[in-house]
Structures are given as C-alpha cells and as structure tokens.
Structure 1
Amino acid sequence: MLPTTEFALLRRIATEQSANRAPSLVAAVVRDGEIVWSGARGTVGGDAPDDDTQYRLGSITKSIVAAEVLRLRDEGKLDLNDALDKHVPGTALGGQTVAQLLSHTGGITAESPGSWWERSPGGDWAALDASLGADEIKLRPGSRFHYSNVGYGVLGELIARLRGTSWLDALRTGVLNPLGMTRTSPHPEGKHAEGWAVHPFADVLLPEPSPDAGAMAPAGQLWSTVRDLATWTAFVGGRTGEVLRPETVAEMREMAAVDDGDAWTVGYGLGFQVLRHNGRRLAGHTGSMPGFLATTLIDPATQTGALAMTNTTSGVAILSLAVDLLTIADDYEPRLPAEWRPSEVEPELLALTGLWHWGPTPYHLRVLPGGWLDLSPASGSGRASRFRPQPDGTFTGLDGYYTGETLRVVKDTDGTVTHLDLATFIFTRTPYDPAAPVPGGVDPKGWRIG
C-alpha cells in the first residue's frame, strides 16, 4: 500500500500495543484475497513476531467448524432444520436444530458444566454428554440469541459422526488443507506466542495455561498465523476455493439473530458474526482464550478485510482495532469502481427489459451480467430484488422481499410474453392489463374518473 497508508496502519497497532500493554500484537490487511499490509509490535521469545508466528484463535475456530457443517449440508448429509437427535441421538439437547446450534439460538447454556473449560483439561464426548441435562437449556429454543460454547462442542460431535473421523481430521481434510491453511493446528507448532495475563496495576506477566479442551475443543482450540488467517478472512468474503460455493458462504453471513438494540449493530449468522459500521456490513469472528485475543473481519462489498492477534488475556480492543485497520485501508486507498464494459445479452432477455406494472405501481426490469434480472420500483426502494436464472427457465430471488421466491415468464401459445408471475403477484406491461390473469379480475369498464 502507499507509504502514508502503511504508516497510518502501523501507528494504529503501535498505539494499541503500547497503550493496552500487549506482550505482542500482529495484524494484517487483506484485499482481493491477498495480504496488502502486515505489521507487528512487541516480542515473542525475544524476537519480533511475523506472519508465520502462531497465536491461538479462540472462537474463530467456530467459524471453521461451521464451514464443515455447511459442507455436510451441501453434500446432502444433513438439513439445517434437522433436530440434533437425528444425527447425535440421546442427548438432552436433541430437540435443538442444527441451524440453532450454528447461530446460538438454541437457548443452550453458554459454558459446559463443571470447571471452566477454557483453563481445564477437557474430557471426551461421553463425559460432556453426561454432564448435559435439561437444566442446560436456559431459554426457549429459537426465541433469541444466546452465545453457547457448548453448542459448538456438540457440533464437533455431529461432524465426527457424519464423517466417521474426529472433528479435527474432518476440518483438516475438508477445509484447512484445501485452503492451504497448513499452519493452523490444535496445539502450537514451531514459532508461536506464549499466552500471558498482564497485571492490571503493574507491568508484569503471568503465564496462562493452554490445555486441550477435549470435547469442547471445537469451540476454541485452534492456533493459526497471519498468513493462514488472511486466507480465512478472504474465505469469509467469498473467496472459497473448492471448499464451499460462494453462495453458501453468503448464506452463512446472513443474520439469524441480532442484538437487542433498537437498530441492530451486531448479529450472528451460521457461524459468522456480522456487524454494521458506518453504513457497511462486515463479517467475521472474534476469539478469546486465556492468554489470547484474535479477530478477523471483511467487507464483502469492497473485499477489504483486516485481522489481528495478540497474546494477552484482556485489555486490547481487538474488534475495534480490526475495524479501524479496515477503515483506514479503505479511506486512504478506496477501491476504484470496475470499468463498465458492454456484454452479450440474449434477445429473449433483452425483450423483457423496460417498464412493468404490479397493479398500478410501475417497475423497471433490467438485465444484469450473467443473465440475472433486477426488478425494482420505478421510484423509491420498495420491493426491489435481483433474480438468478435457473435451468428450467425460471428465476430465483436473491435478496429483498422476494428472496428465494420464483419469478416465471409466462407466454401465450405463439411465444409472446404476456406477464410475469412472481410468487402469485402478476406484473403486466400496462397497469392492470385486462388480458392478463390479474387476481380478482379487472373491472370491464376500465379506468374512469370516479
């Protein structure tokens, strides 16, 4: 990036590391799938950390677990509306759906019973399952967002049963290795940061433990590097390689639950946290374990992302730091719009363009690249949606009111288009065309003054 941009980014992490007394801190900015800037402050074992130094990811692990669950869904091995009992029978949480576990809307207790799992050696699945009773369901399933580490421990067992291997081996085979994330592991390997607690009133450190969390490991076990986390940041933005379809990752970014504010600022999808900042919608995840904080965020619209990791239990405003890095990058070096160029349009689609009416309300239909359609009110926002073509000649809504709905182009016997049928709404070339099958019919006397 430009020297002025790089200095602003470096100053931001330097201020964070110094003011909040982090033993070390690493960060990077990602754009279009590549690291365009990275920086580090502090030391690890007496040396400066770099892009290949491992830090613990904490709950960013959950997003990677969620990706493997969505792979299972796309392969037809489960449905997101399946009750857990269908795949992991006999648990006290069997009524919760896979989607509720992914989105923290199952009403399950936040932490596993017994000793605090993040600082305690974890038992196996049988031990975790035996500890979960009806009392661990704290809220009516589906009623609201309630973050649950336990839910992701359960999802790890779901993956293990459907893959016939450990959750970790499933992640390596299906997600990490295909993305080239070879420096992401359950325990530190090679150069890595030690986890520390910083005394609140003195400049001294206390080492934090990092035991294996056992059956709770899918909630926060993994370690990674700037390079690997940059790859994951790009994945969240839609650069998914052969692991998932971009449409599936976009589905993961859709909110299943939002915060309690009058105008939502933070939400949660299917394994991703989502937040709104200055009119932008960012996606990613934060992570914390004793001795570590981490975060990754990306704006899918600009394809600019940021990540940060530090080896301190608390103090560093890790999420705000990532937001600021992303904002600095896009403010100092905003993306140029892609050049407009003409493209081929099928004659049948070209004939559909122009003015249509839903009742008396005028709409404009435009053809987008790839044969997609955009149907929007002629004035104002209203019920605007984009539609993707399907092999059977229909179109499926991608956003807005008509998300998932089917748009059909209806023709008469000679092939002339007579109207559009969109989820039972009839669009005609003229308002309330009496020749079209308008629901309820059209008064035969036609338009008049009263």
Structure 2
Amino acid sequence: MTTSQEELLPGTRRALLHRIAVAQAEGRSPSLVAAVVRDGRAVWHGARTSVDGHAPDENVQYRIGSITKTFTAVLVLRLRDEGALDLGDPLEKHLPGTGAGEATIAQLLAHTGGLAAETPGPWWERTPGALRPGLTDVLGDRPVLHPAGRRFHYSNPGYGLLGALVEELRGAPWDEVLRREVLEPLSLDRTSARPEPPHAGGWAVHPWADVMLPEPVEDFGRMAAAGQLWSTSGDLARFAAFLAHGDDRVLSAESLREMRTPAAPADPADFADGGAYGLGLRIENQGGRVLAGHSGSVPGFLASLTLSVADDVAAVVLADCTSGPLVTQVAADLVRIVAEAEPRIPEPWRPLPEADASVLELTGQWYWGTSPYALRITADGLLFLGPLSGGGRRSRFRPNDDGTWTGLDGYFTDELLRAVRRPDGTVDHLDLGSFVLTRQPYDEGADVPGGVDPEGWRGIG
C-alpha cells in the first residue's frame, strides 16, 4: 500500500486535521495519530502532540488493546477454512478440560459463550501475565455466567481461550502463529506482541488537572490474544484494507464478509444505534452508514479501527492515554468526512462477458403471492431478488454447481433458490425455501401451494 497525501482534496485534508486536533486538545491526549484508507490504500496521515517538533509518524507503535481480538479471529477463521475445525464445534472438542467447553467456537468469537467479562483476581491489564500461568487462572472457579448462546456478553477471557485454541491446533505460540500467518504476508512489519522502538509511552492524565502519570506496561501472558498487540497507524491502515478486500494468502473476501456479518446483538442500550457484533468485529449503523471494526483500550492507550465497505473508506486513530479522546467516534467521523466530501466514484458500467441463457431466462418480474419482485443478474455474476418498490425481503444469491443458488444475505441467507421446470423444460416457478414465485400473481398454470380458485380473479359483485 502506498501513501499519498495529495490524493485527497485540500479541504478534505484540513477537515481531517481539524477533527483530530479537536480530539487531541479536548481529550487531553499527549499524542494522537490517525490514518485514512480509501480504495485499499492509505491516502492521509495526521498527528497531533503536546511536544513541539516531535509529532509521531505512521511508524510509531502504540498499544492497540482489543483490536488484537480481530487478529485472533482471523487466525480462527483460517483454521475453519482449512477444515481443522467447524465454528459450530464446542470448544471442548479441541481444547478439553477448560470448564467452559460447552460454548462453541462461533459463540466465543461473537461473545455469546456466556463467559465472564474479566479474569478473576487483580486487574489483568495492569499486572503481570505470570500471575495467570494457566487457563484455570484466566477463567477462575466460575467461568460461565450465562447459558451459552443466550445473550451477548463481552468476554476478554473468551479470546484468551481462542488464543489457546490456536496454539493447540498449530502447535506453536499464538504470537508466532500470528506473525507467520498474518503479519508477514500482509507486510505488517511494525506490529508485534511486545513494543519495538520507536513506540509511544502510555500515560494516565489526571481527570481534574493537566498532569500525568506513566502507566505500567505488562505482558498479558495467557490473555495476550485478547489485547497484547502493539501496532502503528501505517500497519493498521494496511490491515483495514485487508479487512475490506481480503487477501487469499491470509483470508478470503468471503470469510471476511462472514466476520463483518452480525452474529450477536450488542447490549440493549445499543439497539437504537443498530449496534451488533460479528466474528471478531463490531458492526454499527451511524446515520445510515454501516461501519465495521474494533476499538481497543488498555492502561495508557486508546485505539480504533473502523471501515465502511460501501464507501471503501477506513480510518485508524491511536492515542497514548488511558482515557480522554473518544477515538471510536473520531475514527467514524474521519470516514464520514471523506465519504461525504469526496463520494466514491462508481466503476463504469460494462456488459457481462457472457450470459448463460438458462440463467437469463430467470430474470425479470416474479410474484410471491401478489407481491411483485424482480430477479436480476448483477455485474459480479450473482442473482439479486428484491421487491419492485418499497420495503420487503431482498437477498443476493451465488450459483451452485447443480444449477441452484444459495442466499448470501438478508432474509434468505443460506436458503436455496431453484427453478422448477415443466416436462418441456420451461420454468414453472421458482422455489425459495418453500416460497413459490410465479410469473403472474397466483398463476393458475403454475404449481401454487394450496391451488388457485378455478373461477379466477373477479370483482366484488
């Protein structure tokens, strides 16, 4: 990924700088760095600092806290894609004896495994990981607070377990697996489990006075997979581009779409904002814009990475203080500034290179009962079914080898669409998860469930 400050308009660059300057000043952060990604590459980097002449650049490390969880989720999805596990597997199948093994791997990824939010004992982020040498020390005597799968409850120990799962199946330490399978292929050379100079120091800023205290830097040990990593705005910009587009050396675009798909609602207080959690990623709706990403917070540091796939814009914000700037909102604002000031220019329309006649004949208007729908072939070779007007169920479908189609999103996710043909080969109707779509409303010539009144359509008299 190359970096070019000139690709954004001057007014956009000033708006971005103003936003992070306000965040650093009002949030009283010793320093704050940010980056913006558009069309898969970094197009802007900004920094503000309390020390004249020492503004950090995109190569200075900050601790990124729970953004680490997204990296861990990528490792787990890689294992799934290789066939080493299934997301529906209970943890006990691969990592027995934890006391939390009834939770499935998917539930741990989505924070619905019922586990406690934190480890027992002293604050794990400010104490040495050596105090928690085993998984029993991470989980304690009461690891499970809720029945698995019943509710969203953010769990740091859950990701400690996922890190242990990666180690068990790979036969190597979590950070070594991460370096080999993710960091090196994506050229994230400034991301590491331990700080490497140049790096920022973490600070606690007094809530009622402009004075500071240094925060301790601890190795989290068994909890590393939940929040250990250090990274830079430059590396996280590259990682954001990967999360949006995929890289087959690491994880496919389809698996990343799965990570960005809500798997669990957030706390009820977040419902009004459309908040949800996928597999290692938080998803929210801000003003009609769907954002996916993760935030991070450990003593001395705040971090946020967020992206809008529809706009193909992402932002990273890092600060070196325990509390202060609302980095998650700042990152969302940076995405909004670029998306609104310089809207994405669509690719030119081009005809398909070829059209399958058996698929082309399926397109056009269909009726589910009396509701009119349209079936279209999209530019990427998928089918899209949606209402002709107004609200209603809509989904995209990918082709299968047997001539059927599988739903990718919306109400018909993973449902099967097939064309039911008459003996002469013509299409009688479409079957979609037991729903019948016909060319005419309640077409008497088609196999409509319950049949059609033989007297046909008529008036009230």
Q: Into which bin does the TM-score normalised by the smaller protein fall?
A: over 0.9
- Looking at structure 1, the residues matched to 138 and 77 of structure 2 have their Cα atoms a distance apart, in angstroms, of 27
Structure 2 SS opposite 1:371: coil
- Per mean C-alpha deviation after superposition, the further-off stretch among 342-351 and 165-174 is 342-351
Please state if 1:260 is matched with 2:262.
no
- Looking at structure 2, the residues matched to 395 and 369 of structure 1 have their Cα atoms a distance apart, in angstroms, of 16
The question of whether the paired residues in 1 share the 8 Å contact of 2:138 and 2:157 is answered with no
Deviation at 1:256, TM superposition (A): 1.9
- Looking at structure 1, the residues matched to 190 and 399 of structure 2 have their Cα atoms a distance apart, in angstroms, of 40
1:28 to 19, 25, 35: 35
Partner of 1:65: 72
Please state if 1:307 is matched with 2:316.
yes
Partner of 1:409: 419
Deviation at 1:392, TM superposition (A): 1.6
- Looking at structure 1, the residues matched to 131 and 422 of structure 2 have their Cα atoms a distance apart, in angstroms, of 64
- Looking at structure 1, the residues matched to 406 and 130 of structure 2 have their Cα atoms a distance apart, in angstroms, of 46
Q: Percent identity?
A: 55
Q: 1:371 to 1:129 in 2, by over 3 A?
A: same
Task: Kindly provide the CA deviation profile for residues 250-292 of structure 1, in whole angstroms up to 9, marking residues without a partner as x.
Answer: 1111112223045343221110011111111100000011110
Q: 1:133 to 1:313 in 2, by over 3 A?
A: closer
Q: 1:93 to 1:44 in 2, by over 3 A?
A: farther
Please state if 1:356 is matched with 2:366.
yes
Deviation at 1:133, TM superposition (A): 4.3
Q: TM-score, normalised by structure 2?
A: 0.93
Deviation at 1:390, TM superposition (A): 1.5
Task: Kindly provide the CA deviation profile for residues 321-380 of structure 1, in whole angstroms up to 9, marking residues without a partner as x.
Answer: 111111111222121233222224222222222222222322222111233112222332
Deviation at 1:134, TM superposition (A): 5.0
Q: 1:277 to 1:71 in 2, by over 3 A?
A: same
Partner of 2:350: 341
- Looking at structure 1, the residues matched to 341 and 369 of structure 2 have their Cα atoms a distance apart, in angstroms, of 47
Structure 2 SS opposite 1:392: coil
Deviation at 1:310, TM superposition (A): 0.9
Deviation at 1:432, TM superposition (A): 2.4
Partner of 1:147: 154
Task: Kindly provide the CA deviation profile for residues 116-173 of structure 1, in whole angstroms up to 9, marking residues without a partner as x.
Answer: 1101111387523255345221222222111111000111000100111111111112
The question of whether the paired residues in 1 share the 8 Å contact of 2:133 and 2:221 is answered with no
1:424 to 409, 414, 434: 434
- Per mean C-alpha deviation after superposition, the further-off stretch among 234-243 and 91-100 is 234-243
- Looking at structure 1, the residues matched to 50 and 196 of structure 2 have their Cα atoms a distance apart, in angstroms, of 18
1:382 to 369, 388, 392: 392
2:337 to 328, 337, 343: 328
Structure 1 SS opposite 2:283: strand
Identify unmatched segments of 5+ residues in structure 1. none
The question of whether the paired residues in 2 share the 8 Å contact of 1:33 and 1:239 is answered with no
2:166 to 159, 163, 172: 159
- Looking at structure 2, the residues matched to 94 and 126 of structure 1 have their Cα atoms a distance apart, in angstroms, of 19
Structure 2 SS opposite 1:294: strand
Identify unmatched segments of 5+ residues in structure 2. 1-7
Deviation at 1:12, TM superposition (A): 1.3
2:99 to 92, 113, 116: 92
Partner of 2:307: 298
Q: Aligned letter for 2:110?
A: S
- Per mean C-alpha deviation after superposition, the further-off stretch among 286-295 and 11-20 is 11-20
Task: Kindly provide the CA deviation profile for residues 3-38 of structure 1, in whole angstroms up to 9, marking residues without a partner as x.
Answer: 111111111111211222211110011101111111
Question: Following superposition of structure 1 onto structure 2, how do residues 119-268 of structure 1 map, counting pairs within 5 Å?
Answer: 119-123=126-130, 127-130=134-137, 132-258=139-265, 259-261=267-269, 263-268=272-277
Q: TM-score, normalised by structure 1?
A: 0.95
Q: Aligned letter for 1:185?
A: S
- Looking at structure 2, the residues matched to 44 and 125 of structure 1 have their Cα atoms a distance apart, in angstroms, of 38
Aligned Cα root-mean-square deviation (Å): 1.9
The question of whether the paired residues in 2 share the 8 Å contact of 1:179 and 1:241 is answered with no
Partner of 1:441: 451
Q: Aligned letter for 2:323?
A: S
Partner of 2:295: 286
